[in-house]
């Protein structure tokens, strides 16, 4: 089983030919409202592929769009029995501007995600008893991320941390992370230098390994993912596609990777699979509802079933 402790957002996706510059007002082509949030997207991607999942998160009692979010999670076959409603706040939200080439700018409001506390994790930690992987991302309070990962690690569960959006990590946290999956911008924020090729990506991997992280995956957009297990390092190339909307690309990679790793595949094979999932996701509009099925992913890979 894969357990995700992460965010739920109501996503407002605005489509237009280009993104506005500061101080400019422009008309958009249209808006789509759908479920999102990095935690919800990642666990939805894994569940759509067939993983057994449990999602720990919270929604806001004031929000009028919770049915959309919960219906999207149900569509993906995510177990949401432990998701709680917080009265007197709105659900987390994401405001996504997407241009005609699929590039995006995003503003996130934490909302009910800020109420995902260590106590909430402790109250529901029985779900970790059957888990093989525990995933977190940084759209929830950092103290909760750290507590969740330390709790899972102490129970012998593989810990997967997607450190997005970037937030500093205390040195005591790193050794509890089995797999960390920043993109090149987030990795640069941690390391203090630009990551724009395989050499700099390898140096970034060394930074994380020296901090105590066992495995490092740096996602690098259309170039693929640079992967290191501490001994072997290589670029796992992406699938070349025409992107329609890159929103949620990293989330789809993480969910796809987690699924393949849950199925017993090694770090590099799982990253290859994650790239295939992401390549399908970016050819569709939106985030959670863009996640592909296992059959669709296998067709892209042209490999035996995982």
Q: Enumerate the active-site residues.
A: 251
Domain assignment present for residue 306? The answer is no
How far does CA 153 lie from the centroid of its chain?
19
Domain assignment present for residue 17? The answer is no
At 300 the pLDDT is 86
Domain assignment present for residue 24? The answer is no
At 261 the pLDDT is 97
**Domain enclosing residue 193, as ranges:** 2-7+36-86+113-301
Domain assignment present for residue 132? The answer is yes
Instruction: Provide long-range contacts, Cβ within 8 A and 24+ apart, for 146-153.
Output: 146/170, 146/173, 146/176, 147/118, 147/121, 148/5, 148/118, 148/121, 149/173, 149/176, 149/177, 150/176, 151/121, 151/122, 151/125, 152/3, 152/128, 153/178
Q: Nearest 5 degrees, angle CA 204-CA 183-CA 277?
A: 130
Domain assignment present for residue 92? The answer is no
Domain assignment present for residue 18? The answer is no
Mean pLDDT in consecutive groups of 10 residues from the start of the chain, 306 residues? 97 88 89 92 97 98 93 96 96 90 86 98 94 97 98 97 96 98 98 96 98 98 94 93 80 97 96 95 83 92 61
Domain assignment present for residue 280? The answer is yes
Domain assignment present for residue 97? The answer is no
At 244 the pLDDT is 74
At 118 the pLDDT is 98
At 170 the pLDDT is 94
At 306 the pLDDT is 56
The count of structural domains within the chain is: 1
Task: CATH number of the domain at 258, please.
Answer: 3.40.1190.20
């Amino acid at each position: 089983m894969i357990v995700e402790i992460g965010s739920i957002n109501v996503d407002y996706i605005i489509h237009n030919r280009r993104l506005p510059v500061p101080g400019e007002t422009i008309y958009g082509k249209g808006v789509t409202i759908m479920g999102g949030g990095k935690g919800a997207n990642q666990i939805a991607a894994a569940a759509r592929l067939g993983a057994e999942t449990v999602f720990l998160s919270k929604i806001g009692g004031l929000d009028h769009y919770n049915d959309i979010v919960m219906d999207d999670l149900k569509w993906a076959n995510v177990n949401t029995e432990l998701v709680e409603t917080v009265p007197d706040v709105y659900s987390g939200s994401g405001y996504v501007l997407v241009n005609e080439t699929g590039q995006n700018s995003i503003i996130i409001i934490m909302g009910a995600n800020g109420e995902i506390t260590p106590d909430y994790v402790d109250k529901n930690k029985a779900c970790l008893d059957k888990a093989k992987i525990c995933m977190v991302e940084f759209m929830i309070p950092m103290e909760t991320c750290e507590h969740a990962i330390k709790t899972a690690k102490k129970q012998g569960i593989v810990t997967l941390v997607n450190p997005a959006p970037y937030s500093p990590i205390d040195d005591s946290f790193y050794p509890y992370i089995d797999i960390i999956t920043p993109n090149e911008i987030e990795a640069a924020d941690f390391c203090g230098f630009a990551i724009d090729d395989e050499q700099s990506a390898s140096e970034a991997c060394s930074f994380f390994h020296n901090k105590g992280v066992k495995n490092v995956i740096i996602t690098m957009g259309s170039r693929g993912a640079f992967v290191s297990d501490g001994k072997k390092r290589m670029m796992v190339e992406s699938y070349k596609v025409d992107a329609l909307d890159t929103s949620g690309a990293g989330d789809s990679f993480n969910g796809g990777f987690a699924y393949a790793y849950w199925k017993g595949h090694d770090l590099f094979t799982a990253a290859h699979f994650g790239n295939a999932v992401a390549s399908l996701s970016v050819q569709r509009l939106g985030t959670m509802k863009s996640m592909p099925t296992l059959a669709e992913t296998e067709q892209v890979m042209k490999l035996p079933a995982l």
